[in-house]
Amino acid sequence: MMVIHDRAGTPNAARVRIVVAEKGLEDQVRYVSVDLVAAEQKRPEFLAMNAVGKTPVLVLEDGLAISESVAITEYLDNLDGHPVLTGRTQREKALIHMMHRRAEIMLLDPIDDYFHYGTKGLGEALRPWRKPEWPDRHDWGRRRGAEAVANLPYFDGVLREQSFLASDTYSLADITLFAAITFARPIGLPVSEEYTGIAEWFERFSALPAVQNRSGQSFR
């Protein structure tokens, strides 16, 4: 049995849980919940699995620990020899990777910076890992949030032209965009309904069986 160390309800846990559901791997995976607020991910036992000190981490039966949502996605997507989320041809792979990175660089990363620096983030226990010595960190965090909001029209434009971010079926790129949008809203970054490309895509994506059936949607 494979083990995934993550925290249900966080954006990166959602990314991997959608992949598990899409690939029908629920029976082959056991989840171990990591207490992020108590900084369990910064303890030596966890750092031995992932030196970056973040979740999720997939541990294979032979003990190999794989971190980074994209690396985990690639591993799980290729497990049965029939990748459906990361591309089959060189062209598909390149487009999916490119659009995934755009969703990460233009949205998910600045939204994450806003959460950790522009708000209280995960709380006091994590302060030592959050550059507390940096006096204008709150301003910088808020500017990062504004940057993400200013990048939304780009994604809206793409999604007015096509059903999904990188091709006519959903892929890793849409999973990253979904993580960004569902992270932004509850932490107070507006995703206007005027962006009808995004709004219609969000409905289409949310209705997918793998998204509906992913386990553990609420932050515990």
Ligand X SMILES: N[C@@H](CCC(=O)N[C@@H](CS)C(=O)NCC(=O)O)C(=O)O
* 126 is a contact residue toward ligand X (CB under 6 A): yes
Residues 2-31 close enough to bind ligand X by CB under 6 A: 10-12
Q: Does 73 bind ligand X (CB under 6 A)?
A: no
Number of residues that bind ligand X (CB under 6 A): 12
55 near ligand X (CB under 6 A): yes
Nearest to 15 by CA among 87, 74, 95, 83: 74
Give the 3-state DSSP-derived string for 53-112, with helices as H, strands as E and coil as C: CCCCEEECCCCCEEECHHHHHHHHHHCCCCCCCCCCCHHHHHHHHHHHHHHHHHHHHHHH
CB of 57 to ligand X, least distance (A): 9
**Is residue 118 near ligand X by the rule CB under 6 A?**
no
Distance CA 199, CA 159 (A): 9
- Determine which residue in the list 41, 73, 86, 171 makes contact with ligand X, applying CB under 6 A: 41
Q: Which of 56, 92, 47, 90 is nearest to 76 (CA)?
A: 56
Q: How far is the CB of 30 from ligand X (least distance, A)?
A: 19
Q: Does 92 bind ligand X (CB under 6 A)?
A: no
Q: Say how far apart CA 85 and CA 148 lie, in whole Å.
A: 25
Under the binding rule (CB under 6 A), the answer on residue 109 touching ligand X is no
- Judged by CB under 6 A, the residue of 69, 73, 86, 171 near ligand X is 69
List residues near ligand X by CB under 6 A: 10-12, 36, 41, 53-56, 68-69, 126
